[in-house]
Structure 1
């Protein structure tokens, strides 16, 4: 029972981190004390670390809330793929057939993933936010810890952040960025809008963050806007 709950906590951190104990408790239906016990155990095991949580609204006084993200060991603990073998195969392909062959493979892989996700995304209709949520649901089936967050709601820069707290090809993509590039292109094709990658696990960030713009809305007099580049991303 304890192990199962701890796995749920770890998975929730991978999907929604940086996340506080209070937010985890509300999301998982547990008491804050129980969540903190599991967080402490995971941190002691080297699977989690504290991280300052970005503030999206007015900054409050006092010490910032303790938030948590996965460590390198935490990512490895979730991983069930064959990173070393995959990287060796792609390296062999690049050496014997050229870098273009790796790009072709990355694009083919992205097309295959898109085919598995397309039905769910299309079923969500024309609303970009709903399509993005359907995309996140499909990515979770593919082994990604994916979630969505609204950004700059009600402004001309309104959009959705697609966050991937775990990627099954993270370590391979660090060596072959063509995988990330093909994935971003796939997101654009599925959603029908140009997306912007703000952060990447493969580049050392704590989460892959992709900004998806929503249709422009009229701006209210005196309202302010938030640029996608200043929206909540992996804090440093």
Structure 2
């Protein structure tokens, strides 16, 4: 699948901040948007701490991004620890903001896959997706193979982030068990919206690399804010399959 190359990063900066903004201001604004993209809904104070910006500077960039429709305001759900105070104001990326980070060749890729589907059938698109993921799997697998099973998903998240997927891994909710892999950016989200075979092939590759069943719970291509994959505990998975790895 396409990687988040330096050329695309440069184009994203221009798309997020606008060409009429001074370079230093433009780069900082793009970094603010990037952090919001990678970390999901986040507070202004958290952004300031991560970037070393004053509250006034953060507010200036957030106001500009809000005015351009790149981000939106959400309210955090009240919690017992917060009491009855006003809900915290969170900033989240919008579809327009995410589009600024989308690969520049989306339209060409969609047209090519559409042609492939029309001339060779949908199964050809699935085969194409698997071959594309084979390259990614070939690069990632050696990093994961010798790691303890419980560490592989975290190493996979690091590898995906290095390729621009803004990925993270954490323990899944107790009711599910296992771990959860989140991708806050998808370079082919708009193409995958039309061709879900791309997401399916990626999920299959994750299962092979992690050597345990995985389940895609949400995708950016389907309108969710994050691509979320549940990774089953390796021990439980092996017990269910009679001790045979997938």
Please confirm whether the aligned pair reaches a TM-score higher than 0.5, indicating the same fold: yes
- Residue equivalent to 1:149: 170
Label 1:127 to 1:56 Cα distance change in 2 as closer, same or farther (>3 A).
farther
Structure 1 residues 165-191: Cα deviation after superposition (integer angstroms, max 9, x where no partner): 211100000000010111111111111
Deviations 1:38-66 (A, max 9, x none): 22211111111123446798775333222
- Is residue 105 from structure 1 mapped to residue 124 from structure 2 by the alignment? no
- In structure 2, the gaps of 5 or more residues are 1-23, 237-246
RMSD: 2.5
Matched position secondary structure for 1:18 = coil
Aligned match of 2:69 in 38, 41, 46? 46
Partner residue in 2 for 1:7? 30
Q: Which residue of 2 aligns with 1:133?
A: 154
Per the normalisation by structure 1, the TM-score is 0.80
User: Looking at CA atoms only, which structure, 1 or 2, has the larger radius of gyration?
Assistant: 2
Q: Which runs of 5+ in 1 are unaligned?
A: 218-236
1:169 paired residue number: 188
Task: Using structure 2 for the length normalisation, give the TM-score.
Answer: 0.77
Contact 2:149 2:234 in 1 (8 A): no
Q: Is the 8 A contact 2:212 2:234 kept in 1?
A: no
Distance 1:106 1:24, change over 3 A: same
CA contact (8 A) 2:211 2:234 kept: no
Residue deviations 1:130-159, cap 9 Å, x none?
Answer: 32222122112323122223334xx57433
Distance 1:24 1:113, change over 3 A: same
